[in-house]
Amino acid sequence: MSVIANRYAAALADVAVERKSADAFRRDLASFAEAYASSADLREFLHTPAVSREPKHEVIDKLAARLGLNEGIRNFIYILADNRRLAALPEITAAFEAELNTREGIAEAAVTSARELSAAEKKEIVAALERKTGKRIEAQFALDAALLGGAVVQIGSTIYDGSIREQLNRLRAQLEAESFRI
């Protein structure tokens, strides 16, 4: 992520945490980002340098009222519009989410398994990951039949590979190493 996105995200996270409204800020920013992404007319209007600040603020006010955005997010959108940073909104939104997760001790995990896991198995995996990382885990589950069995978990840049394929690769490497000793 860009330095600019990280700076805006950190500043917004400061306000969200200070106001004890992280969930509301997270929800409202995502709501505005979705409206912004889905309307080419809105993007064009807010990006046009020929349109002065006041009309842009009026449109943002109307959209904020319609979406039920809190004042902090509305003011943040003003700042992005005034500084011509709305084009970075998707990146800022992702950086904000990551910043809040870091501050709240939440880690996102991508769990890929060879078969559909039961609710109990998912719960057990999440609990094990929480014990291992010391963080609250928000897991996304996916299937990959190529794994043969087991699961692969990615948390940030760390990968825990418990797949049958990886176990077979380790066994093969171990047997090859032992065959050289004989």
What amino acid occupies position 34? E
Total length of the chain: 182
Sorted by sequence, the CB contacts under 8 Å of residue 29 that are 6+ apart come out as 12, 73, 76, 93, 96
pLDDT (tens digit, 9 = 90+) per residue, 9-26? 999 999 999 999 999 999
pLDDT (tens digit, 9 = 90+) per residue, 91-129? 999 999 999 999 998 999 999 998 999 999 999 999 999
Domain ranges of the chain: 3-102, 106-181
Sorted by sequence, the CB contacts under 8 Å of residue 15 that are 6+ apart come out as 25, 72, 76
- Residue 158 and residue 118 in contact, taking contact as beta carbons nearer than 8 Å: no
Per-residue tokens: 122: 């998912």
pLDDT (tens digit, 9 = 90+) per residue, 126-146? 999 999 989 999 999 999 888
How much is the pLDDT for 182?
59
* pTM, rounded to two decimals: 0.72
pLDDT band at 169 (very low <50, low <70, confident <90, very high): confident
pLDDT (tens digit, 9 = 90+) per residue, 1-10? 589 999 999 9
CA distance 16 to 119: 33
Phi-psi region of 112 (alpha: psi -120 to 50; beta: other; left: phi over 0): beta
Architecture of domain 3-102: Orthogonal Bundle (1.10)
Average pLDDT, the chain: 91
- Residue 140 and residue 111 in contact, taking contact as beta carbons nearer than 8 Å: yes
